[in-house]
Amino acid sequence: MCEHRRIPYGEGVKYINPRVSFDGLSWWISVGIEYPDNIEIPTNKGIGIDLGIEKLAVVSDGTVYKNINKNKRIKKLEKKKKRLQRKISRKYEMNKIKTKGGECRYEKTKNIIKLENQLKKLNQRLTNIRHNYLHQITTEIIKRKPSFIVVEDLNVTGMMKNKHLSKAIGQQRFHEFTRQLQYKSEWNNIKFIVADRFFPSSKTCSQCGSYKKDLKLSDRKYICSYCCGSILDRDYNASLNLKNYGQELV
């Protein structure tokens, strides 16, 4: 762990119940931490967050967080993973034993076990990099002390059914992102709001409130066809709508 001040310390902080465990791959240490509740009530402007594939998150205060999966380091590891997976299945194929009944039995050789452990390690490394990135972002957002945070209610299961998108969506870990934001909000007395699934955050003009029925997925810009004539980045427009949604609720 290398996140500055992720673990609370100072007066009134108690560490209890240390435990060491082994999951077959890595050693873990867990410690219970008791510390006084944060009683500060944040007063800064609320924010809306639009999640996406192109960019991981676009925040209504103007910050944009990129999709880490387009990163060279991740791409390299994903390539390595694919190669390793192919190698393992090839090894299984080579060591397959035909029984008298004509059925196939797959034997696990020492070499296969070794390769499978390498794969486990690689998977863990990828998860660690992705989760660490999410922790950095969610902590950064919370540190700005907004009075509320609004995210969309993403129908991830529905989106996963789309073959072309499912891999990209799975890699983005939206669920983990909102989970972290939610509990960190609760710890810091920030109201956490999930917008209704049918709230049209993309198709509404954040400036005048008009609705654009024919906005296509490929439209990267929101161009208001009503009198206000605003031209905004599509995701930024959505994040502003989510912020407005929270404003009305609060």
Q: How many residues bind Zn ion (CB under 5 A)?
A: 8
Residue 238 as a binder of Zn ion (CB under 5 A): the answer is no
Helices H / strands E in the chain, number of each: 6, 11
Q: Which of 94, 208, 231, 250 binds Zn ion (CB under 5 A)?
A: 208
Least distance to Zn ion from the beta carbon of 211, Å? 10
Q: Which stretch binds Zn ion (CB under 5 A): 40-48, 113-121, 216-224, 238-246?
A: 216-224
Q: Which of 56, 142, 205, 240 binds Zn ion (CB under 5 A)?
A: 205
Q: Which of 7, 31, 228, 250 binds Zn ion (CB under 5 A)?
A: 228
Residue 231 as a binder of Zn ion (CB under 5 A): the answer is no
CA dist 39 and 24 (Å) reads 41
Residue 94 as a binder of Zn ion (CB under 5 A): the answer is no
Does residue 231 sit in helix, strand or coil?
strand
Q: Which stretch binds Zn ion (CB under 5 A): 113-121, 146-154, 192-200, 210-218?
A: 210-218
Encoded one letter per residue, x for contact with Zn ion by CB under 5 A and - for no contact, window 149-188 reads ----------------------------------------
Least distance to Zn ion from the beta carbon of 137, Å? 30
Dihedral sign, CA of 166, 60, 3, 183? negative
Residue 31 as a binder of Zn ion (CB under 5 A): the answer is no
Residue 46 neighbours by CB distance under 10 Å: 23
DSSP secondary structure letters along 64-86: EEE-GGGSHHHHHHHHHHHHHHH
Query: Residue 95: which residues within 8 A CB-CB, separation 6 or more?
Result: 106, 107, 109, 112
**Beta strands 148-152 and 191-195, pairing class:** parallel
- Please check whether residue 125 is in contact with residue 118, taking contact to mean a CB–CB distance below 8 angstroms: no
Residue 215 as a binder of Zn ion (CB under 5 A): the answer is no
Return phi, psi of residue 39, to 5°: -105, 0
Q: Which stretch binds Zn ion (CB under 5 A): 56-64, 104-112, 161-169, 204-212?
A: 204-212
Site residues, Zn ion (CB under 5 A): 205, 207-208, 210, 224, 226, 228, 230
